Amino acid sequence: MNLTSSAEHVKSSTVPFYSLSVPASDYIVNVEIGTPKKEVPLIFDTGSDLIWTQCKPCKAYYPEVPVFDPTKSTSFKALPCSSTQCQLLGQGCSSSKCTYKIAYVDNSSSAGIYATETISFNHLRYDFKSILVGCSNQVSGDSDGQSGIMGLNRSPLSFSSQTANIYNNLFSYCIPSNPGSTGHLTFGGKASNDVKFSPISKTSPSSDYDIKMTGISVGGRRLLIDASAFKIASTIDSGAVLTRLPPKAYSTLRSFFREMMKGFPLSDQDIFLDTCYDFSNYSTVAIPSISVFFEDGVEMDIDVSGIMLQYPVGSKVYCLAFAELDDEVSIFGNFQQKTYTVVFDGVKERIGFAPGGCD
């Protein structure tokens, strides 16, 4: 990387993020790209690697959001197929330019060319030069107002990895409980003493932020879940909404939650959300607390805003905000991370949590 001199002495930087949807699903950071700078809204995603934005000319694009024109940037450099970097990436080539294609678990995708470009944030006084980015000319899926994604996982392609020599491969964020509030994403700095850490799993893919979940409690009672249900570590994913559990863990959680909510009639079930209640006839409702436990004794008491999800939006129906996946994947989503400072420490290979992080 070639960095401006001011960036070489930075210890931490904090940028705001927000959500455009209610309830909040994706969280967006305004990123400036190119020379002169063009502001583009990007989802920050700890579950993926590449930082990309849609570019002109577009074959398929998100409508009504900013589109970057690389021909107007003096710092844009397409990655040539002949470069060692392109060969290491091992993807494809088109018109002598190194190409990429990336797909996500929600069936959305992005395809385009690799390039190096200058990245900055609107209230910071320095630039990150020669950052490897994706310039997308074809996207699929829905947009909540984003032009692309800022990948933050452990892959060398991610923004956090490409700026690791500045920020010591450490970043954190706090998602507020109110979807209309602004959160903060901080690169660098030091973790406070109240952060409790769990080690990144040694058996997980090298690019993922996976830690081992060891248990769940409902209403203060630890559930009897066989240890085999947690054999797959959980990915701490800012780009996924709900926590997705293996079948044994989810069925136990669901059964106990329903037992504690038996005073309320179950509403019609959705294929995905299967524990829902219509609270139309109630002015206040008491719901059981839920806590999640991770390796090394980390206990995370889920904020009340992260236990039940209003569905459909605007209704009086609320559903348990957890879902079943399969035995091979487990995800700890952003809905359950609300109000906590979540710290990703790449140097010490650990993830930490501290309550009250948005205060």
Catalytic amino acids? 45, 237
Q: What distance in Å separates the CA atoms of residue 243 and residue 248, rounded to the nearest whole number?
A: 14
- The distance from CA 200 to its chain's CA centroid, rounded to whole angstroms, is 16
Token pair 């909510």: residue = 261
Phi/psi for 145 (5° steps) reads 110, 0
Judge contact between 41 and 54, C-beta under 8 A.
no
Q: What distance in Å separates the CA atoms of residue 237 and residue 184, rounded to the nearest whole number?
A: 16
Q: What distance in Å separates the CA atoms of residue 199 and residue 346, rounded to the nearest whole number?
A: 10
Phi/psi for 334 (5° steps) reads -70, -25
Q: What single-letter DSSP state applies at residue 335?
A: G
Which has the closest alpha carbon to 250: 270, 271, 275, 287? 275
- The distance from CA 278 to its chain's CA centroid, rounded to whole angstroms, is 30
Q: What distance in Å separates the CA atoms of residue 263 and residue 265, rounded to the nearest whole number?
A: 7
Q: What distance in Å separates the CA atoms of residue 83 and residue 167, rounded to the nearest whole number?
A: 27
- The distance from CA 51 to its chain's CA centroid, rounded to whole angstroms, is 13
Q: What residues form DSSP beta bridges with 291?
A: 217, 301
